[in-house]
Structure 1
Amino acid sequence: MARHHAVRTLLIATLAAAWLPGWAQSAPPKVPTVRVQSQNQAGAMEWDGVIQAIRQSTVSAQVPGNITALLVKAGDTVKAGQALAQVDDRDVQAALTRTQADVAQAEAQLTNARLQWERSQALKAQGFISAAAFDGAQAQWRSAQAAFNAARAGQSQAALARGFATLSAPFDGRILATYADVGDLAAPGRPVLSLYAPQAMRAVVQVPASLANRIKTARTAEVNLPAGTDLAPAHWVRATRIVSLPGADPVSQTVEWRLDLPSTTALPGQTARVRFSDMAPAAADGPAETGLSIPAQAVVRRGELTAVYVVREGQFMLQAVRTAPASAQASTVTVLSGLRAGDTIAADALKAGLANASPMKP
């Protein structure tokens, strides 16, 4: 038994001796690095933008009630005035019937008051009634006339409310999305569906506020449209009109630029690359480091912390940065602060965060 135990111990020791040296000699992970470049040093500046419809509308009901019919679905093409959905109109129909009865009653009272007023005029001419009785008949006729006008106004309002029970397309377009189904309760302000006009599209991009004045000097603004539904490949097109919003976002410190596009098959929500070129040279006394572009994989986000791994003395150090807003599909990110042009960072933040990771020598 003791001999058996000794053999087993010797076997375990032999296997450990054969495995441990290889494990101890395994090299730590090597992570490729990239050098941060300033977009100010280039002849053009690029950011990721989003395609939007210039004309887009959200349709909601103006009268409460259950949706009895949804006549379209996402992707359908509709014409202006076409019925899109129907809301239960029994309540508004009852209100319309009630106002119609009010109009009939007011009309009968007006006819009676008018006849009474005409008889009073004849009797007054013959001196058979007093001035007070004559004035009373005249006032009653005017009151009946006002009541009739009010009843007709109520009828018009009820008829208008009945028309609101049918949701119609405000313009020619395509259904973007539906937010309710048959049986759901429609209420004023609650969206039922949205549509857009596919003929007019634009690209929206967030530009760092520190570069706003320089971007205004750009002579050319282009958008790299994604591959379209007609199998057309991605291509650059020149914007037909450029507008920048007058204010900056207080959190991201970016300015929204809107670039109208020529006819395109791009869809709202798609990501597009936006490029400004032929700009005036940067001022010699201006900020040297703005608009730094780095790969999206180089950025790590932990809660509210946004950071990159910077190479310092041959090791990775976590450095907090502030970035401009970008879509989830963006391949690059614009750094607004925290880095300088010429800094070397890890190309893959996840690998750089591993234990014993070190920069790969160029």
Structure 2
Amino acid sequence: MMRIPARRVLPLLALGLVLAGCGSHDGSGGTESLPEVRASLVSVDSRPVTRMLEVSGMVQPRQQSALMGRSSGPVTAIHVSPGDRVAKGQLLLEIEKDMNEGMLHQAEGALAQAKAAFTLAEQNHQRFSRLFEKNACSQLELDAALMQRDQAAGAVTQASGAVASARSVSDETDVRAPFAGRVVDTMVEIGDLAAPGRPLVMLHSLEGNEFWITVPESEAGSLQRGTEVEVAIDSRPELGRLASSVKEVVPMADPATHSVSVRLSLPDDGLRPGITGKAWLPAGEHPSLRVPESAIYRSGGLALVCVVDAQGLARSRAVSLGDSHDGLVDVLAGLDAGQRVVAQLTQLIPEGTPIRESAE
């Protein structure tokens, strides 16, 4: 005799007990004595349903920047603290100017020497030009004077560039906000050595936030700018699902994870960068059977519907359910398209009960 695994016995017994409760009440096993029941019926239809992909993400500022100085030297003043709001162009931090001013003075001295050398070379070239007109010097001597003048002119150009660069670096001993924002972190203290490329202040813009997610490369093809999505914030359940849309799909996938980064819009609800949440994205359509949630009767962990067969008799069926949408629920297993079910199943209808469809 075939043995049924014990782990399958309990669900089968539970379903059997429920269906047994739907049987005849006259004790004879027949259906003749069962009174007719009037009920509204709905047809089980197959229709395309948008599959929703759930992914995790994080709130990020629309614009952020780790501000770095181009000059080297000790930090002499810090004018802001984390959490401060700053205006565009506001002074945030100062770097010692002496070292950079010394470099500027040195460059300016080199420029003065180059200009003096050019003046001398130009005078020498003019002198040889006059001598050449009087046949008092050779063409070779004139060409040499011209070459010396051109070299001196090149040295002036080079020295001028060095002065401009040194002046630019000297000006950047003052670190200013490139946009209006909030200071997230000051990454140095007074006395620390600033150097080109070293982050000094982290700044987030005040223009609002975005929600950043990563999706599998295979799912990114259905997303484009403007695609409508929903976002929920883990720490703010009272907000519910927020309407959002795709702002950008990064065109390059991560070769290690085969995923694509996506930026979503967020309403201005005072959300702080760094908090986490979830997003629901459309990921194509698939056929689905749907019935009203009111057609489902739950008992002992089972979801049941009352199917009306071809003879107009009630037949209870256990079903497997999926997602709910606007009062309808997806049926994954247990029903076939075209079947009719009782629309409002507030209690179990005995198995085999005649069902008359009501006009309502």
Same fold (TM over 0.5): yes
CA distance 1:84–1:126, shift in 2 (3 Å): same
Give the Å deviation of 1:170.
Answer: 2.2
On the 8 A contact 1:207/1:254 being kept in 2, the answer is yes
The number of residues matched between the two structures is: 240
* 1:155-175 Cα deviation digits (max 9, x unpaired): 112112212322222222221
Match of 1:298 in 2: none
* 1:38-58 Cα deviation digits (max 9, x unpaired): xxx997554443101121111
Amino acid at match of 1:90: D
CA distance 1:119–1:263, shift in 2 (3 Å): same
Give the Å deviation of 1:65.
Answer: 1.7
Matched, 1:204 2:212: yes
CA distance 1:145–1:219, shift in 2 (3 Å): closer
Q: Match for 2:253 among 247, 264, 274? A: 247
Q: Match for 1:238 among 236, 243, 247? A: 243
Match of 2:193 in 1: 185
Q: 2:191, 2:173 → 1: CA distance?
A: 14
Matched, 1:139 2:150: no
* 1:314-344 Cα deviation digits (max 9, x unpaired): xxxxxxxxxxxxxxxxxxxxxxxxxxx9xxx
Matched, 1:89 2:97: yes
Partner SS, residue 247 of structure 1: coil
Matched, 1:275 2:283: no
Match of 1:259 in 2: 264
Question: With structure 2 as the length reference, what TM-score do the two structures score?
Answer: 0.57
On the 8 A contact 2:86/2:182 being kept in 1, the answer is yes
On the 8 A contact 1:51/1:270 being kept in 2, the answer is yes
Match of 2:121 in 1: 113
Amino acid at match of 1:79: A
Matched, 1:70 2:78: yes
CA distance 1:70–1:233, shift in 2 (3 Å): farther
Give the Å deviation of 1:255.
Answer: 5.0
Of all paired residues, the percent bearing the same amino acid is 26
Matched, 1:129 2:119: no
CA distance 1:120–1:267, shift in 2 (3 Å): same
Give the Å deviation of 1:271.
Answer: 2.3
Task: Give the gaps of 5 or more residues in structure 1.
Answer: 1-40, 285-340, 342-362
Q: 2:148, 2:223 → 1: CA distance?
A: 73
CA distance 1:150–1:212, shift in 2 (3 Å): closer
* 1:63-114 Cα deviation digits (max 9, x unpaired): 3221111122212222333322111222221111011111111111111221
On the 8 A contact 1:249/1:255 being kept in 2, the answer is no
Partner SS, residue 275 of structure 1: strand
Amino acid at match of 2:262: W
On the 8 A contact 2:86/2:177 being kept in 1, the answer is yes
* 1:168-224 Cα deviation digits (max 9, x unpaired): 2222222121111111122233221111113142112344667667888x9641123
Q: 1:183, 1:112 → 2: CA distance?
A: 46
Amino acid at match of 2:271: A
Partner SS, residue 239 of structure 1: strand
On the 8 A contact 1:67/1:182 being kept in 2, the answer is yes
On the 8 A contact 2:114/2:155 being kept in 1, the answer is yes
Match of 2:112 in 1: 104
Partner SS, residue 118 of structure 1: helix
Q: Report the aligned-residue RMSD.
A: 3.4
Question: With structure 1 as the length reference, what TM-score do the two structures score?
Answer: 0.57
Q: 1:62, 1:139 → 2: CA distance?
A: 37
Task: Give the gaps of 5 or more residues in structure 2.
Answer: 1-48, 289-331, 333-360
Partner SS, residue 240 of structure 1: strand
Q: Match for 1:174 among 173, 177, 182? A: 182
